[in-house]
Amino acid sequence: MTTRVRFAPSPTGYLHIGSARTALFNYLFARHAGLTDPDSKFLLRIEDTDLARSTEESTRSILDGLEWLGFAPDEEIVFQSDNAEKHRETARKLLTEGKAYRDFTPKEAPSDANIKDAIKERAREQGADKNMRDNPFRDLPRDESDARAAAGEPFAIRLRVAESGKTSFEDQVYGLQERDYSEIEDLVLLRSDGHPLYNLAVVCDDIEMAITHVIRGQDHLTNTHKQILIYEALGVTPPVFAHLPLIMAPNKGKLSKRKHGEVVSMTTYRDAGFLAEAFRNYLALLGWSAGEEQEIYSLDELVAKFSLSGIHRSNAIFNFSPDDPRKWTDDKAQWMNAEYIRTMPLDELLPHVKAELKAAKLWREEYEEDDRAWYERTVDLIRARFFTLKDFSSQGRAYFSEDYDFDSAAIEKNLSKFPDLRVWLPELAERFEAEFGDKPFNETNIELVVRAFTEEKGTKLGVIMNGARTLLTGVAVGPSMLSVFETLGLERSIIRLRSQLAWSQ
RNA sequence: GUCCGGUUCGUCUAGGGGUUAGGACACCGCCCUUUCACGGCGGCAACACGGGUUCAAAUCCCGUACCGGAUACCA
């Protein structure tokens, strides 16, 4: 059977890291299957049946995140709310067949504040003795039920779960899963206002979309048993299930928007200058392993190596320290991004740098034309110590603009301590002007001139070089000064060496 | 409460009867060096606990602890 999987987020927030990984695993699974069956599909369904919480903005944000990661669905996006009528029909069908019943119990007013806690509390009170089949309307005679409904009395439709038995399925990650019917209540299929509920909607849509494998978070494990009951009532063979371990916060608690803010949002990483391929690579290793020591994988390699059997059963922690700006997000993710930036083929990096420079208004069309060679060489030179795309427009700004700031720590470290430099550096500019009238301004020649100059002044090479570094780049960090001089060129080097701007700060 | 799941360095993980328990990130040190990185070399650091099975247990079984998930006319 042709593999068809879906990623089914509910649009109640942005695309967070856990959902992104679920999307990735679904995507990889579909593409892997696609290696032998080109008809395999990765689909997207927006589960927007909770009208109160779903927002268009959220849908937009999720789509943005998926687009950034490169997970385009193979068929049109399904909006679950569009299928509500079909869901209702299915519920009515089950009712007609006697597999579901009307529950006339008045709807409870939703307890406000903390719903989760309220539910937990109620469950605790009910204890282990709770009889899941004690609904007074479960065995209401058909004609009486029909009469009350006809009279306009509101009712919910609940699935009639058998008195005894158990559901079971072979989870591709967690193994055989069984649940006794006594643990499962007669779940509501249709709300008294006619609104289809999650479990019904999911099953109907998965059937309609011909989903063969459901790969989702482990928090759905209990839903799966309920859904299997619905599949059985419908006489449809359930798909294969694979539940994923969860991604937790550093304290092993839930990773949430409210508590952890932007670190969990995919768009944060896009906006922070992460490369999608790097983040994907990082995500793939969170809860999955190919069982080898390789860590850097191209998408093709991930597709080739991905399998459900490599997924772990234990939750993973997304490691970050909100108090430490250097570790605002997982350090392995940061390392991975830096690794990609400095080792990926330059041609692949260039468009990203272009986009970043454009956004920072530092891009010049010449970089695409006459100065292309210079641009490529410069990017290649400075990328070695960058962590994100943002660094090209911040730390790397002086390479692309005459308007850059001087880092106070750099001034302190490389200029203030050596007051002579205020005279020496402009002198070095004079020397450059004199020496490089006809001689090429390249590393070899520059080194000769600077070394001679240094000896004349009776100082150390580092003092001159780092003083110059501060003036020429505004920062204390960067490539070898010989390359910086050469890259910036004679003219710009001279102007910057003469500049007194940094000194007056 | 009940049901389900999990537990290997700080973090991500390999290993699934015999390993000096491996790698990566982070951290620390050394080398390289005009800075900072990169790179190279090295270091620190883990099988939750208790029983069993076995010649042999991180690995299999049972229990305990802890963590997580679920428990709704949310998804």
Q: What is the ipTM of this complex?
A: 0.95
Q: Is residue A45 part of a domain?
A: yes
Catalytically annotated residue among A86, A116, A226, A257: A257
CA of A384 to C1' of B38 (A): 6
> Which 98-137 residues of chain A approach strand B with CB closer than 7 Å?
103, 105-108, 110, 115-116, 119-120, 122-124, 126-128, 130
Residues A479 and A362 occupy one common structural domain: no
By DSSP bridging, strand A240-244 and strand A213-217 are parallel
Distance CA(A467)–CA(A128), nearest Å, equals 75
* Strand B contact at CB of residue A487, distance < 7 A: no
Which of A244, A266, A293 terminates a domain? The answer is A244
What tokens does A423 get? Answer: 């005279």
Residues A36 and A130 occupy one common structural domain: yes
User: Is the pTM higher than 0.80?
Assistant: yes
Please report the pLDDT score of residue A348 as a whole number. 96
From the C1' of B66, which residue's alpha carbon is nearest? A252
How is residue A285 annotated by DSSP? T
Residues A186 and A238 occupy one common structural domain: yes
From the C1' of B37, which residue's alpha carbon is nearest? A385
Which of A191, A219, A244 terminates a domain? The answer is A244
Range of the domain at A110: 4-244
Residues A391 and A415 occupy one common structural domain: no
Report residues of chain A scoring pLDDT below 50. Answer: none
CA of A35 to C1' of B15 (A): 29
Please report the pLDDT score of residue A139 as a whole number. 92
By DSSP bridging, strand A100-103 and strand A78-79 are unpaired
Contact between A103 and A95 under an 8 Å Cβ cutoff? The reply is no
Contact between A11 and A52 under an 8 Å Cβ cutoff? The reply is no
Report the domain count for chain A: 3
Would you call A454 helix, strand, or coil by DSSP? helix
Please report the pLDDT score of residue A128 as a whole number. 66
Distance CA(A157)–CA(A197), nearest Å, equals 10
Whose C1' is closest to the CA of A446: which nucleotide?
A: B34
Residue A361 falls in the annotated catalytic set = no
Residues A22 and A63 occupy one common structural domain: yes
Residues A467 and A500 occupy one common structural domain: yes
Residues A124 and A224 occupy one common structural domain: yes
Contact between A71 and A24 under an 8 Å Cβ cutoff? The reply is yes
CATH number where A146 lies = 3.40.50.620
Please report the pLDDT score of residue A110 as a whole number. 64
Rounded to whole angstroms, the maximal C-alpha distance in chain A is 109
Please report the pLDDT score of residue A113 as a whole number. 61
What tokens does A439 get? Answer: 């001689």
